[in-house]
Amino acid sequence: MSTLDFSPLFRTAIGFDRLARVLETARTAPDAQTYPPYNIEKTAEDSYVLTMAVAGFGPGDIEVVARDNTLAVAGRAPQPDEGRAFLHRGIAGRAFERRFVLADHIVVDGATLENGLLQLNLRRVVPEALKPRRIAVQAGRPAQAEQPALANEQDEQAAAA
């Protein structure tokens, strides 16, 4: 069986359309793209390093764009040097574009190019509002809301005016 049908799952799930797109993209992505080679390394609980072998490319030849949970790395082919005659050309210098799907709250911390390796530092940054928080439990009766008292004061002030 080469295809999976996720439609029963998405019939009753609301707001998972991004997940459906990711699954569909992964299913239909061409497996033939192998250039440039890359590694993805988990360096800590919420930190990753993406390393791409980009021999022959300089910092001005590479463009890194993170947008809408997608990381795109593109390289413009370096201009051929005039007057050079290659007997064998094994170092690929062709243009490329690689796209990676990023999970929610993944940000690119920086990029370095050294010894033909492009390293992108990625980190998960969860907003404070989404982090779990501990609620203190107190003994006794619940505190009364202050809003009715404020409403009474405003009514008294309006009547006095």
- Domains of the chain as residue ranges with CATH: 1-31 (no CATH), 33-80+89-137 (2.60.40.790)
pLDDT band at 43 (very low <50, low <70, confident <90, very high): very high
Tell me how far apart the alpha carbons of residues 37 and 15 are, in angstroms, rounded to a whole number: 34
Write the CA distances from 121 to 30, 115, 131, integer angstroms: 26, 17, 22
Is the pTM of the predicted complex or chain greater than 0.75? no
Tens digits of per-residue pLDDT, 104-147? Answer: 888 999 999 999 999 999 999 888 777 788 888 888 877 676 55
Report the range of poorest mean pLDDT among 6-10, 68-72, 82-86, 143-147.
143-147
So what's the pLDDT on residue 129? 79
